[in-house]
């Protein structure tokens, strides 16, 4: 894995070459055959995954198949700072290659390369905020109307 492999990932676009190289050194590459799970819903989140090649199908027990992701997708980024149970399963729809940044490796980066870790956290927060803003109209429609208790 090298810094050039990280260029397609929006989450990492603000990294300089030196930071990208440091991150690449911490990444572990995994290959999955079709039908193999990258992770299962309910499993403990243990780091983020970068989809390098192939497509993964995302699904949950409650809603079924949610869609698919391909090269350039980032999965599980929040588990770097807030470990918890995976909300969906990710299964290879075709041969896949992913890079994994384990939670402990990110903690080491926080100590050894705080600027890199800070840039990643900023990007993660920016992406999460954007997703929340996109979802607000759906949430507003789903919630019952609040009574207007204030002055008119």
Rounded to a whole number, what is the largest CA-CA distance in the chain?
A: 61
Angle between helices 114-142 and 17-26 (to 10 degrees): 80
* Range in 46-50, 70-74, 136-140 the model is least confident about: 136-140
Q: How far apart are CA 39 and CA 87, in angstroms?
A: 10
**Of 14, 121, 27, 108, the residue nearest 78 (C-alpha):** 121
Contact 44, 92 (CB under 8 A): no
Residue ranges per structural domain of the chain: 3-127
Distance CA 109, CA 127 (A): 20
3-state SS class at 23: helix
pTM: 0.83
Architecture of domain 3-127: Sandwich (2.60)
Q: pLDDT, tens digit, for every residue of 81-124?
A: 888 899 999 999 999 999 999 999 999 999 999 999 999 999 88
More confident residue, 15 or 29: 29
């Amino acid at each position: 894995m090298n810094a050039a492999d990280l260029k397609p990932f929006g989450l990492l676009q603000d990294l300089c070459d030196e930071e990208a190289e440091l991150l690449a050194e911490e990444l572990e590459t995994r290959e999955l055959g079709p039908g193999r799970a990258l992770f299962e819903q309910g499993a403990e989140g243990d780091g983020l995954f970068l989809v390098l090649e192939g497509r993964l199908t995302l699904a949950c027990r409650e809603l079924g198949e949610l869609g698919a992701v391909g090269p350039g997708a980032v999965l599980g980024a929040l588990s770097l700072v807030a470990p918890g149970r995976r909300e969906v399963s990710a299964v290879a729809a075709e041969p896949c290659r992913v890079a994994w940044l384990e939670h402990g490796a990110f903690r080491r980066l926080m100590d050894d390369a705080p600027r890199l870790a800070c840039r990643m956290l900023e990007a993660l927060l920016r992406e999460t905020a954007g997703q929340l803003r996109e979802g607000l109209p759906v949430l507003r429609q789903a919630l019952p109307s609040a009574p207007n208790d204030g002055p008119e």
